[in-house]
């Protein structure tokens, strides 16, 4: 049996050694490809940066001025419609502003007497104050 195990181990060792060498070769190829990819990536980034700098640094975007004529026409139509609607409403014939000492609801004799008494007393008091001022003004000067 020892004769059979020896050749078996050597075959396994050969297979393992071949696998190890293949793995090493694959790792070397993978490293070489990764380095090549990194180099290409750097070149691509440089080219993209140059392209963006050339293309987008000189571009200026100017939007055209909006055409507001359609909006203005619609606005004038709407205002004309509102004006027509307001003209159709009934209007008062005239506006009157008046001051009444004797309102229509309170035309009793007592109310008129009270108002006239206060008006007359107020006028007498105003005349008294004016004469008093004129007399005092002469004596002060």
Residues 6+ apart with CB under 8 A from 102: 111, 112, 115
DSSP per-residue codes, 14-83: HHHHHHHHHHHHHHHHHHHHHHHHHHHHHHHHHHHHHHHHHHHSS----PPPP--HHHHHHHHHHHHHHH
Q: Quick one: what percent of the chain has pLDDT higher than 70?
A: 91
Predicted local distance difference test score (pLDDT) of residue 6: 59
Compute the mean pLDDT over every residue in the chain, rounded to the nearest whole number. 85
Whether the pLDDT of residue 1 is over 50: the answer is no
Whether the pLDDT of residue 129 is over 90: the answer is yes
Whether the pLDDT of residue 14 is over 80: the answer is yes
When comparing pLDDT for 122 and 66, which is higher? 122
When comparing pLDDT for 90 and 32, which is higher? 32
Predicted local distance difference test score (pLDDT) of residue 63: 83
Task: State mean pLDDT over 5-33.
Answer: 86
Give pLDDT tens digits for 81-119: 999 988 888 876 777 787 777 677 777 888 888 888 999
- For the chain, which residues make up each domain, given as ranges? 7-59, 108-141
Residue whose token pair is 């000067």:
141
Task: State mean pLDDT over 26-40.
Answer: 93
Residue whose token pair is 């139509």:
77
CB hemisphere CA count around 60 (13 angstroms): 2
Whether the pLDDT of residue 3 is over 60: the answer is no
CB atoms within 10 A of CB 111: 14
């Amino acid at each position: 049996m020892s004769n059979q195990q020896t050749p078996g181990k050597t075959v396994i060792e050969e297979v393992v050694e071949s696998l190890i060498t293949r793995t090493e070769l694959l790792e070397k190829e993978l490293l070489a490809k990764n380095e090549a990819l990194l180099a290409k990536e750097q070149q691509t980034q440089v080219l993209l940066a140059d392209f963006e700098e050339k293309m987008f640094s000189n571009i200026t975007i100017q939007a055209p001025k909006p055409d507001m004529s359609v909006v203005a026409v619609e606005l004038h139509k709407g205002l004309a419609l509102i004006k027509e609607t307001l003209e159709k409403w009934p209007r008062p014939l005239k506006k009157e502003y008046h001051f009444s000492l004797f309102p229509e609801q309170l035309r009793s004799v007592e109310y008129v007497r009270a108002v006239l008494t206060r008006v007359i007393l107020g006028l007498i008091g105003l005349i008294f104050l004016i004469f008093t001022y004129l007399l005092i003004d002469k004596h002060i000067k």
